C-alpha cells in the first residue's frame, strides 16, 4: 500500500507541477513558478518515500525525503501564496528568505549525521534519528508555510463571489490540512502508511482544487490560493 500510494502521489505531483509550470511559461506569474518548484519537491519526496518503502531506507533516501517533504516544499507553496496576495515587492523579499533557508537546510541535511541507525523497512521519525536543528527547520518551515497557504486559501475563498472558485479554494485549504495530518493518521496506521496516505489524498485534493480553478470561467483578479 505504501509503495502504490507514494507512486500515485509522485505521479499526481508531477502532473500538477507541469501544469503550473506550463502556466508560468505562458504568463510568467511568479506565484505559479513558486508552486511549480514546491510541487516538484513534493514529487521528489513522494518518490523517495516509494524507494524507501520498496527497497529499504538508506541515509541518502531518508534525508532526501526529509529535506523535500518535511522542510522545503511547503515554504515554496507558501511563497506562491505571498506573491499572489501581496505582489512582487513583498514576494521577492520573502523569496530571498526562503532561498537562503533552503540552502541552509540543504547544508544541514548533508552535514548532520544520523543519531541512530535507520530501520530498513520502517519510516523513522525525525526525532528518533536527527538532532534538534533539522527538526527545528522542519517544524518552522512546514508549520509556518502551511499556515500561510491555509490563510491564503481562506482569503481567496472570502474574496471570491464565484461558486466554482469558492469550491476550488476550499479544496486547496482542505488538501493543505490533510497533508499536515500525518501525525493523526500515524496513531491509526503505521508511520509509513500514514505518510503515504496523507501524501496521495492531500495532493489529489489540492490538484482537484487547481482543476476547478482552471476550468472555471475567467474572472478578473481571481485565482486559486
Alpha carbon dihedral 19, 21, 25, 26, in 10-degree steps, equals: 30
- pLDDT at site 213: 60
Task: State residue 67's pLDDT score.
Answer: 93
114-125 per-residue burial string, b: 16 or more CB within 10 A, e: under 16: eeeebeeeebbe
Higher-pLDDT residue of 60, 211: 60
| Cell 521528489 found at | 44
List pLDDT tens digits, range 87-121: 899 999 999 999 999 999 999 999 989 988 888 77
Which CATH number fits the domain 2-214, given the four candidates 1.10.540, 1.20.1070, 2.40.50, 1.10.3470? 1.20.1070
Residue 174 has a pLDDT of 82
Weakest-pLDDT range from 85-94, 152-161, 168-177, 215-224: 215-224
Torsions phi, psi for 47 (to 5 deg): -65, -40
Name the range with the highest mean pLDDT among 13-17, 153-157, 176-180: 13-17
Nearest of 171, 30, 139, 16 to residue 74 by alpha carbon: 139
For residue 40, report the phi and psi dihedrals to the nearest 5 degrees. -65, -40
Residue 127 has pLDDT above 50, yes or no: yes
pLDDT band at 46 (very low <50, low <70, confident <90, very high): confident
What are the pLDDT digits (tens) for 170-208?
A: 787 788 777 766 544 544 455 666 677 777 788 788 778
Distance between CA atoms of residues 54 and 100, nearest Å = 33
Please measure the distance between the N-terminal and C-terminal CA atoms of the chain and give it in whole angstroms: 31
Query: If DSSP codes are grouped into helix, strand and coil, which group holds residue 149?
Result: helix
Residue found by looking up cell 476550468 in the block: 215
Residue 53 pLDDT: 84
pTM for this predicted structure: 0.83
- pLDDT for the residue 72: 92
Average confidence score pLDDT of the chain: 81
Does the pLDDT of residue 218 top 50, yes or no?
Answer: no
Q: How far apart are CA 164 and CA 222, in angstroms?
A: 11
DSSP tag of 109 = H
Nearest one of 2, 111, 125 to 66, comparing CA atoms: 125
Angle at Cα 119 formed by Cα 117 and Cα 122, nearest 5°? 150
Interhelix angle 2-27/30-55, nearest 10 degrees: 160
d(CA 13, CA 70): 15
> What is the per-residue pLDDT for 111?
92
Q: Look at residue 206 in the predicted model and tell me its pLDDT.
A: 77
Give the number of other CB atoms < 10 A from CB of residue 39. 28
pLDDT, residue 122, reads 78
Q: Do 158 and 181 contact (CB within 8 A), yes or no?
A: no
Amino acid at each position: 500500500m505504501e509503495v502504490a500510494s507514494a507512486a500515485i502521489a509522485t505521479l499526481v505531483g508531477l502532473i500538477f507541477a507541469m501544469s503550473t509550470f506550463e502556466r508560468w511559461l505562458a504568463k510568467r506569474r511568479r506565484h505559479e513558478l513558486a508552486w511549480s518548484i514546491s510541487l516538484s519537491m513534493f514529487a521528489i519526496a513522494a518518490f523517495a518515500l516509494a524507494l524507501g518503502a520498496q527497497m529499504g531506507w538508506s541515509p541518502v533516501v531518508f534525508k532526501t525525503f526529509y529535506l523535500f517533504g518535511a522542510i522545503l516544499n511547503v515554504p515554496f507553496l507558501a511563497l506562491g501564496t505571498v506573491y499572489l496576495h501581496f505582489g512582487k515587492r513583498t514576494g521577492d523579499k520573502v523569496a530571498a528568505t526562503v532561498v537562503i533557508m533552503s540552502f541552509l537546510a540543504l547544508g544541514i541535511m548533508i552535514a548532520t549525521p544520523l543519531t541512530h541507525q535507520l530501520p530498513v523497512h520502517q519510516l523513522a521519525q525525525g526525532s528518533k534519528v536527527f538532532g534538534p536543528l533539522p527538526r527545528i527547520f522542519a517544524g518552522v518551515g512546514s508549520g509556518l508555510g502551511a499556515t500561510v497557504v491555509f490563510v491564503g486559501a481562506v482569503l481567496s475563498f472570502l474574496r471570491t463571489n464565484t461558486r466554482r472558485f469558492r469550491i476550488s479554494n476550499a479544496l486547496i485549504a482542505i488538501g493543505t490540512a490533510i497533508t499536515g495530518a500525518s501525525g493523526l493518521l500515524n496513531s491509526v496506521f503505521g508511520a509509513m502508511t500514514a505518510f503515504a496516505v496523507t501524501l496521495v489524498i492531500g495532493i489529489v485534493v489540492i490538484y482537484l482544487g487547481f482543476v476547478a480553478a482552471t476550468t472555471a470561467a475567467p474572472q478578473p483578479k481571481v485565482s486559486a490560493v
